[in-house]
């Protein structure tokens, strides 16, 4: 798991040179932001998945600021906000609107592009959309955290089983020739 995450995350130089993240300056030099362990990766996943439901402007900065404040893996938290992109934003935010409208008990407006592009309609859907984004972000965050913890634990247990099997095989190979010499 750790090797896979190291392969897919961008390196420190690449992230620290990103024009939006240069605002943090020397704070990006903290080694905890680049360290990869179960806690750091799990909390970074939770941060990134929560912030992906935030308004799309400045998501990277907010995710980076939270990762720096919590001293968790910066590349993971920043990379996960890119789940929201021009293709995924409409269905994600419409789903969040549906969740918020359901919680508030408001009638749901069907999805029409002209309805969503008219800014006057946004005043009526802002409360359900905001609440839905908070709920969806929290659910995704908790789910991502727990999934990352479980995957990391499963990977660790698998490595331990493989290592024990390797030791067992090596011990059986060593003991087998010596038992043949005694007979």
User: Is the predicted pLDDT of residue 145 greater than 90, yes or no?
Assistant: yes
Confidence at residue 15, expressed as pLDDT on a 0 to 100 scale: 64
For residue 180, pLDDT beyond 70: no
| Domain map (residue ranges) of the chain | 2-182
3 has a pLDDT exceeding 90: no
Confidence at 35, pLDDT banded by 50, 70, 90: confident
Token digits of residue 157: 């247990």
Instruction: Name the token pair of 77.
Output: 């938290």
Percent of the chain at pLDDT exceeding 70: 81
Mean pLDDT in residue range 20-30: 69
Phi first, then psi: give them for residue 19, nearest 5 degrees: -60, -35
Q: Among 143, 147, 140, which Cα is nearest to 38's? A: 147
pLDDT of residue 144: 96
Inform me whether the pLDDT recorded for 45 exceeds 90: yes
pLDDT in tens, 162-172: 888 888 888 88
Residue 26 per-residue DSSP state: G
Cα 181 from Cα 183, distance rounded (Å): 6
């Amino acid at each position: 798991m750790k090797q896979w995450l190291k392969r897919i995350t961008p390196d420190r130089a690449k992230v620290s040179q990103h024009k939006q993240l240069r605002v943090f300056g020397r704070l990006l030099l903290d080694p905890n932001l680049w360290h990869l362990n179960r806690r750091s990766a799990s909390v970074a996943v939770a941060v990134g998945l929560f912030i992906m439901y935030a308004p799309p402007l400045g998501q990277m900065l907010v995710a980076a600021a939270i990762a720096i404040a919590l001293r968790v893996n910066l590349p993971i938290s920043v990379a996960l906000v890119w789940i929201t992109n021009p293709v995924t934003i409409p269905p994600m935010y419409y789903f969040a609107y549906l969740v918020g409208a359901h919680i508030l008990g408001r009638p749901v407006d069907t999805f029409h592009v002209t309805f969503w592009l008219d800014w006057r309609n946004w005043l009526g859907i802002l409360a359900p959309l905001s609440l839905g984004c908070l709920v969806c972000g929290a659910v995704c965050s908790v789910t991502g955290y727990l999934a990352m913890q479980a995957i990391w634990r499963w990977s660790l247990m698998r490595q331990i089983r493989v290592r024990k099997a390797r030791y067992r095989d090596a011990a059986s190979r060593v003991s087998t020739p010596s038992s043949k010499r005694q007979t």
